[in-house]
Amino acid sequence: MRIRSALSRIKRFASSRTWEYYPIAEWDRQYSSSTWTYLSGLEQLPRYAVIEGWRRRLKPRGSVLDLGCGEGVLLDQIPVADDVNYTGVDLSRVAIDAATRKLRNAAIERFVCADLVTFQPPPGAAFDVIVFNEVLYYLEDPIATINRYRAVLGRDGLVIVSVFHENLRTWKAISTLLANQCLQTTVVHDVSSGKRWHLGVYQDHPAPP
């Protein structure tokens, strides 16, 4: 009876878990085996176009913090002529090594191998755009992570979020948290694959004195 009760508790815990956890070694294995190269393909292009479109329209010269940057696909979308100060963070060394080979101007572009949950931006850093691109549903507490990074968002800075439709619960939690800062949300639907993504851009306004 005690064993059955324990198993029941474990099953309830597992069913309540809403994030997708992979150890660092698994991320490295996946990047080494080209699992994520499809992110550079046509299927993902409209989604990246929305993210880059918001950045370029709203903060064309603003600094960017790309959390969970992978192999640097977002940097590929940012024109080098924009002279954007860009920082990409990912916990996979394999992904960061691949991303680093894409740097166009090392004076203003950099990739950092770190866990975004514990990553500490340089003292005094303030970013104009912080991007959570298909990464929040891999975190145990995405709301706490967003709130932590809002502390390093510059005045009137932007938070851009992309969440795959299968992780709708995460998207709804984020939408509720940032509802008062919402500038726009949209859905990207790839008809060929049937995949859908929810995207939102939010602007933090300073609190009144």
Residue 89 confidence (pLDDT) above 80: yes
Note whether residue 209 is domain-resident. no
Residue 8 confidence (pLDDT) above 50: no
Note whether residue 61 is domain-resident. yes
* Rounded percentage of the chain residues whose pLDDT exceeds 90: 86
Amino acid at 171: W
- 64 DSSP β-pair partners: 86, 129
- 129 DSSP β-pair partners: 64, 158
- The pTM is what? 0.89
Mean pLDDT of the chain: 90
Amino acid at 116: L
Question: The domain spanning residue 132 has which CATH number?
Answer: 3.40.50.150
Reported as a single tens digit per residue, the pLDDT across 49-64 is 999 999 999 999 999 9
Note whether residue 78 is domain-resident. yes
Contact 135, 89 (CB under 8 A): no
Q: How confident is the model at residue 72 (pLDDT cuts 50, 70, 90)?
A: very high
Residue 109 confidence (pLDDT) above 60: yes
Query: In the prediction, which pLDDT does 162 show?
Result: 98
Note whether residue 56 is domain-resident. yes
Residues 92-112, mean pLDDT to the nearest whole number = 98
Residues 33-55, mean pLDDT to the nearest whole number = 96
Q: How confident is the model at residue 205 (pLDDT cuts 50, 70, 90)?
A: confident
Note whether residue 194 is domain-resident. yes
Query: In the prediction, which pLDDT does 14 show?
Result: 34
Token readout for 149 is 């990074």
How far apart (Å, rounded) are the C-alpha atoms in residues 130 and 157?
A: 8
Note whether residue 199 is domain-resident. yes
How far apart (Å, rounded) are the C-alpha atoms in residues 64 and 79?
A: 13
Reported as a single tens digit per residue, the pLDDT across 147-165 is 999 999 999 999 999 999 9
Quote the number of domains for the chain: 1
Is beta strand 153-164 parallel, antiparallel or unpaired with respect to 195-203? Answer: antiparallel
The range of the structural domain enclosing residue 158 comes to 2-203
Query: In the prediction, which pLDDT does 7 show?
Result: 34
Note whether residue 113 is domain-resident. yes
Comparing 35 with 20, which gets the higher pLDDT?
35
Query: In the prediction, which pLDDT does 20 show?
Result: 83
How many other C-beta atoms lie within 10 A of the C-beta of residue 100? 17
How far apart (Å, rounded) are the C-alpha atoms in residues 19 and 135?
A: 10
Note whether residue 208 is domain-resident. no
Q: How many CA atoms are closer than 13 Å to the CA of 21, on its beta-carbon side?
A: 7
